[in-house]
Structure 1
Amino acid sequence: MVNQVEPKLIKPLYEELQKERFVTLATVDYETGGPNVSAISWVLAKDENIIYFAVDNRSRIIENINKNNHVVINIIANESTYSIQGEANLKEERLKDVPLKLALIEVKIKEVRDVMFYGSKIVQEVQYDKTYDKNAAERLDRQVMDAIRKA
């Protein structure tokens, strides 16, 4: 079976990106020109063609995107692994109604590729747990995701 390539998010990925979840983000490092991979969780599909994510506005991710806006978001969902390639830009320097100084990044999707190796499927997706105050984490997550939705 040949890996599928789409110009936009397929429905199961769009649905998975309607809530906070673990993804990795690959950027081009502004100093070395090499790859830079980060784990992020405040991510939301605005529609089938655009993904928003929030990061600390002092993050190296922002410097990398300012120098080279090509990014890849990797997501494990729908029993597979997907590479979402796109062009990123700083949409907002500071998200409103959020106590942290978070920037909002917009990714315009160019290609969604199923990159799972042949003859296999994901049987258990990545899970994570917040290691700080659970109530504070839930409140902050709600504030950030609500702010992203309003953007």
Structure 2
Amino acid sequence: MANKVEIQLIDPLFDALQRERFVNIATIDHETGAPNVNAVSWVYAPDRERVYIALDARSGILENIHKHPAAVVHLLANESAYSITGNAHVKVERLEGVPLKLTLVELIISEVRDVMFYGSRISVEPQYAKTYDEKAASKLDQQVLDAMKKA
């Protein structure tokens, strides 16, 4: 996808966003107006035009998008780095069926761009490990994904 701008997720990106994974979300800080970047893992693409992100209901990201809806999700997939740009808003204040107070944010995609530097590719995608009870983490992750799919 080098040097090509899309208006929706291409197949490999859509497929990558069907499960929990590491992404960064960039928003505009509601107090300073400066860029604000956070790592998140509860992401899901219900279709090729939208990305859902589940966030703690107390997250500063929510205040940021209330004031400035512009946001970018940065995704490493398909051997490259992608920026998924759009406007974000709260879709569901409180996700049902999840023991945590999570808010569902919907990013309406306006642009998908391959932003990998020239002459390179991602050879290994990032991996992470949960630092709390593995069984509890797996159960919670499934509850969040199920709630996001129902939203």
TM class by smaller structure: over 0.9
**CA displacement at 1:3 relative to structure 2:** 1.7
1:51 aligns with 2:47: no
Alignment of 1:108-123 (within 5 A): 108-123=108-123
Q: Deviations over 1:46-85 (max 9, x none)?
A: 1000111100011000000000000000000000000000
**d(CA) in 2 for partners of 1:98, 1:121:** 37
**Per the alignment, in what secondary structure is the counterpart of residue 138 of structure 1?**
helix
Aligned to 1:35: 35
Aligned identity (percent) is 59
CA contact (8 A) 1:3 1:116 kept: no
Aligned to 2:66: 66
Alignment gaps of 5+ in structure 1: none
Root-mean-square deviation (Å):
0.9
What is the aligned length? 151
1:97 aligns with 2:110: no
Give the TM-score, by structure 2 length: 0.98
**Per the alignment, in what secondary structure is the counterpart of residue 126 of structure 2?**
coil
CA contact (8 A) 2:23 2:74 kept: yes
Give structure 1 regions of 4+ aligned residues with deviation exceeding 4 angstroms: none
Task: For 1:17, give the aligned amino acid.
Answer: L
Alignment gaps of 5+ in structure 2: none
